[in-house]
Structure 1
Amino acid sequence: MVRLAQTLLSLLSLSALAAAGPIRYPRADNSTKIRTSEMHYIYPNAPSLSKPTTSALYVEAYSNKSQVEQVAVFRGIPAEAKSCTVGWSQADKNDRVFIVKGDSGHTTMRPLIGFPSGEVSYESVAPFDRDNEDQQFGPDFTFWDDASYAATEHVGGGVKCSSEVYIKVLLRDPTVQASVFLEQDSKNGLWLSYTT
């Protein structure tokens, strides 16, 4: 019973954190980093399926198809923001839940030109996932989940600054059976940095 209460308290804390908006981390180089607290699952093979948001990064491919993709949402970016960059962090091995399965954890990330106002699904995101091939970048999670790697920051790529930034995340090669899971918190997961 105590374990159930602790789990529920943890989930409520995560919900409160997600609802509180972006947490800003000032950095020594005069940039600010915010973490995404909103990840949406989208399913290419079930295009109208919509599920509740999650805090974890999870993408998967099998049967020669992309099966699970996501959209990361960054909110609360100030109007004066410049030099926006998306990347990801991993904490030391004891402070992370990070699993890459299969032959490749190489992803494709690209900004969307907007975001649906209702339910989020592969179908509702599709109109906003266009004219952006030249803006995509490819963070590679392969092998970084190995316990021998310490805390590390990874730069993904630059994006156009806006008050809200939406990034579609999928495995680069859907013909390779693979998945990437990274629990996101204050030390792990996707981030957006900017200068003012």
Structure 2
Amino acid sequence: MNLIQKLALVACLALTGEARPNPSPSSLSGREAAIIVEPTMYQIFPISPTQFAPPVTQLEVLRAGGVSVLENIVIFEGIPSDAQTCILRWEQAAKPERTEFVVARNGLLAAQQLSGLPEGDITWANMLPIVEEAIEQRRPLLHPETTGWVAIETQQVHIAGYVDCAETMIFKIQADDRDTDGIVYLEQDAHNGLTLEIH
């Protein structure tokens, strides 16, 4: 979907209603906290299950016509093996330092923690068995809420919730299907986007 199509979709929704993880410590001494930013991001497409795309930098999900069109696979790497507490968060910088951030209609997200990645390409079809396994195992499912936060001008840190620690942590992010259609787009850098707090 090109930029013009995305902007057109955002306008319609409004009217109707190379990626890199930052270096992290190899261990946590004295239970100090560390924050990992800029996870590796892949886009997956439920309506085009075998479509593969290279990593992107933005968080971007889309639900239209009651269908999830665009979802993300999020990969945080380099978590210390002795991490005991892990918290998924998202951050927005103060307005002057903020990256592109768009929310139209539903900004409620669903973040499902996953146990791994597929052997082949990261596509919706290849991820589906892993997602189904996570649901069966009742792995953490969180609901970050981005609705209304675009208008806030100050720096904010939002807590999505506690997740199971691992040296590599993987999540699937989509627009929550219990609400209306919507789009969320957040370009990520060291001060904007998904983050992982570890202790």
Which of 86, 90, 93 is residue 92 of structure 2 equivalent to?
Answer: 90
Report what 1:184 is aligned to.
188
Q: What SS does the corresponding residue of 2:85 show, helix, strand or coil?
A: strand
Q: % of aligned pairs identical?
A: 27
Report what 1:34 is aligned to.
36
2:111 and 2:142 in contact (8 A); partners too: yes
Q: What SS does the corresponding residue of 1:124 show, helix, strand or coil?
A: helix
Choose 131-140 or 61-70, whichever is displaced more. Answer: 131-140
Instruction: Name the aligned partner's letter for residue 160 of structure 1.
Output: D
* TM-score normalised according to structure 2 size: 0.81
1:145 aligns with 2:155: no
Q: Cα deviation per residue 1:102-126 (whole Å; 9 max; x = unaligned)? A: 2x10000011121123211001111
Q: Distance in 2 between matches of 1:129 and 1:151?
A: 33
Q: What SS does the corresponding residue of 1:126 show, helix, strand or coil?
A: helix
Q: Distance in 1 between matches of 2:134 and 2:123?
A: 19
Deviation at 1:175, TM superposition (A): 6.2
Q: Which runs of 5+ in 1 are unaligned?
A: 1-14
Q: Which runs of 5+ in 2 are unaligned?
A: 1-17
Q: Distance in 2 between matches of 1:87 and 1:37?
A: 12
Report what 2:6 is aligned to.
none
Which of 92, 99, 102 is residue 102 of structure 2 equivalent to?
Answer: 99
Across the aligned residues of Structure 1 and Structure 2, the Cα RMSD in angstroms comes to 1.9
Which of 110, 114, 117 is residue 116 of structure 2 equivalent to?
Answer: 114
Deviation at 1:95, TM superposition (A): 1.5
Report what 1:127 is aligned to.
129
* TM-score normalised according to structure 1 size: 0.82
1:112 and 1:132 in contact (8 A); partners too: yes
Deviation at 1:64, TM superposition (A): 1.1
Superposed, 1:42-61 pairs within 5 Å as 42-61=44-63
Q: Distance in 2 between matches of 1:37 and 1:86?
A: 11
